[in-house]
Structure 1
Amino acid sequence: MGKNKEKITKREEQLLEQIKNLYIGYRKSYIKMYYNKGESTAKYYRPTWALHDYQILAHVRQKQTIGIFAGQVFCKFICFDVDSPELELSRHTTKALVVLLNHDYNISLDDIHVSFSGKKGYHVEIFLDEFIESNKMEHFYYDVLNNLGKLSEEVEIELRPLHTVGLKLPLSIHKQTNKYCHFVDNQTLRKKTDSEKYFLSIEPMSKDYFEIEILPDSKKINQVQFLNEDEKIESKKIINNINYKIDIESETKAILLVLKDKHLLYPNSRHNFCFKASIFLKEQGHDIEDTLKILTDVLENTFKYYRDMIDKSTTQDYALKELKRIVKNTYNKNYIWGQTSKEIKIYKDELKEVLNISTNGKSLHLKKLALSTLIQSKRYASQNGVFYMPYSTMTKMGNTGSRGRLLQYLLNLEEMGFLEVVSRNEKSEGTYKKKANKYRVSIAQEDGDEFIVLDLNEIGKYDLKDYIVELLTIKEAKEILTKSQFYDLGLAKLYKMKKQ
């Protein structure tokens, strides 16, 4: 114990506190890793004493490697422990899991944390800012496995920590391989340049948001229904071949060329084309039946006249069945084209209506979010005014990063009649998967002579105050805003600069 009493550096103290904040909820027992040369694998034993900060500090200093347990009733995070005989197989499964959590459960990539286990696996973790019932995390785990499917019989994805099964903490050494258990990028799985710095930057997700927006209905989850063999292969192919990042200009040109010629132009492009073209056609106003018909014609012509553009092992029936699934997912989840080419204008009267929003202590936050939803509606709303807006987009547009507070603000805007929440936490028919949350701005979108045209590539850089200064005179701004709001936004200085 004397070694552990050496002077604690500021960095060690920060790491100790962050581990306690994110991981530690149960201290009555813990596990300690050890390895005897010549044995096939490292092992763990449970010391008879409780977990103290001394053991955590020894772990941070890489003198011990310890793991923790969940409480019998409550826990504060979930870990998907991905393991297999081959690291590459674990990598593939981990990437698929991250895609699923991000796209199907609307969990921001900022809230999905992945670390290397030290041997041939990865830990995929989600942290909460408050304790949650352990059985809720168990239901979430089974729902995720249900939607992911059993990608390979060699892969295990285990729920950790449990009250009876521990989880090794990151940022120390795996005793068998002598490798550092570092954090990785959650999309590429490349090693973080500074795992400790990344770890210290982690902020837990709102427990309220997790329960309301993400947690499945536990009453409907009885057991894991794995995909059948054909669906498993199909899911793996889609995950492997679809690139979700869209370069708008070049992709639009490529899609238009294929639609014009009515056949694929490049080998092995079927997955990417079907996915991106279905989003493109949806954004152009086509319904699901029209989109399916247009893309079916492309694939049928390709099979008939340009067979070498599609893998020889892929049959036409299989490709059309897969197309139907991709198109259905695109509409159910309301995937959006990364930008829109139409001109977006914000009118003076619209801004005034946004600024007139007020409620106890939250008016500025509500005004900012209301303006963000108005802009998003103008960019992406369908003919009936419905649009999708993930929480990550709200944050990028200058709103709070707290999902719990964003949810409350959205509900406030709905109560005030500014916004309609069309659907939230809705399940797709016949599955436990959730559709994308949909909204509709309820105010009449104004017209008039006074407006500003938005640069769609710069929207994230604009703040509420920029719109005010551009569209309102200083007298108008002071009439609508309270004195504290006017000065909190720094408008006095901005109007003075505008005069110069």
Structure 2
Amino acid sequence: MKRQELNDTITKISELYISARKRYIIQTQQNYITLDGYKNPSVWTLTDSLIERHLKGVNTYGVFNGNSVNKFITFDVDYADDQVLARWSTLKLIYALENDFNIPSADIHVSFSGNKGYHVDLFFDVPISSDDAKSFYRQVIKTADLPSEKVEYRPTYTQAVKLPLGINQKTGARCWFVDRETLEPIESFDYLNDVEPMDHALILDALIELTPEQEAEFREVVERTNVDVTAVSHEKAQSKVIGILKAGQLQFSNTRHETTVLLAAFCNSQGYEEAEAIDLIMSILLATPSEYFSEGSTAEYWQKETERIVKLAFERGYKLGNEDVAVKVYKSEILAVLGVGTFRQKQLAYAMLITSKRYGKTFYLTTRTAMRMIETKSHETIQSAMKKLVAVGFIEYVRKGEIDRAKSSQIGHAFYKPNRYRILIDKPQADDESVDVMPNQSLIDVTYQLFDIRELRRVISRKELGNRWAR
């Protein structure tokens, strides 16, 4: 290799792979040794001269991520006992990246590990959080149906990845880049010099999708959650959200991003304002013990990411998918609604009934959301209606006026968690008449489907019936 070509490759390795130069690994014929200049000042920094030794095959080095950020990720395909399976898994992984996650083929870079595996690399124009990188990795291998113990995520702060184009010290093989379609080696150092980082937004956008692949992480939450969600009994995402909201914190470590995405979609489905959604999500994150987050993760970063994800979810209309599903409403339930008080109070009772059918018996409802649901601009109307519904036994507060101590501490003044409610009316009998109700159907529409005018005159005053119930 000519001097200028060598310098170009060294520069490219630094640009694409290296986040921390004081901490790296060196491969021997037996194992890998971690060299940490933060703990041992005598350790050499991973300089360009060491990278040159790597390219010349004198030594072989590997790198960690930048603790809380990744400027690239590697899918480390390692089937030490079966190279045929390693090839098949690598091609399957590439297919998933291209077809399921819309990663351009030109942005997928594959190198031989030097033994019987491959490294599939994606480089980012802007470093992304380690949480996001790991979340993307999990989605990809689940979509591709590949085992995490055979296709590992690299690099992390504790697990490095070997740099390409060097010599595998155990096998003596050169770790060339390979053709992504045939996996045949490209025996040239020039390959890396033409690589450009990809748009990091492709990774972040992929994380917004609510796919079944997120299910495994939350399976325990779903199994522990005993909530009757009639409209979404087959929608796992809804059950996950309800379980998280009931717990009031993350249920598993390193699930901040997935939880934020799900809650953003939930809030958008339920008609929250963006600010309300951000407050709800941050209350969950701030109530979660610190060990549930990756090292170096901060509340300031969570806030920034929550604002970004909520904005994206609301702008692009990401919802949980059940807001357009019909729910079954029974005549006895509408009869209970009609008996609560004024027309506005009936409207709110109906809105809360439908909300409970979509989001569980115990559900959240903010004053602003309630105002939109019954098309009023009056806070007092909502407050009065809530008091009435509680007084007549239609609903009860599961949580009311509870201060969010973590959020209050963060912002410097009292902040209250969203109120939570439960519908108290009796369950319908087996022979109760019912109709399937779509979101655009009002209380009046549904009532006239279940009652004739003679029945209505017995339960609604003549004045209200004349003024409010005309069709």
Structure with higher Rg: it is 2
* TM, length-normalised to structure 2: 0.43
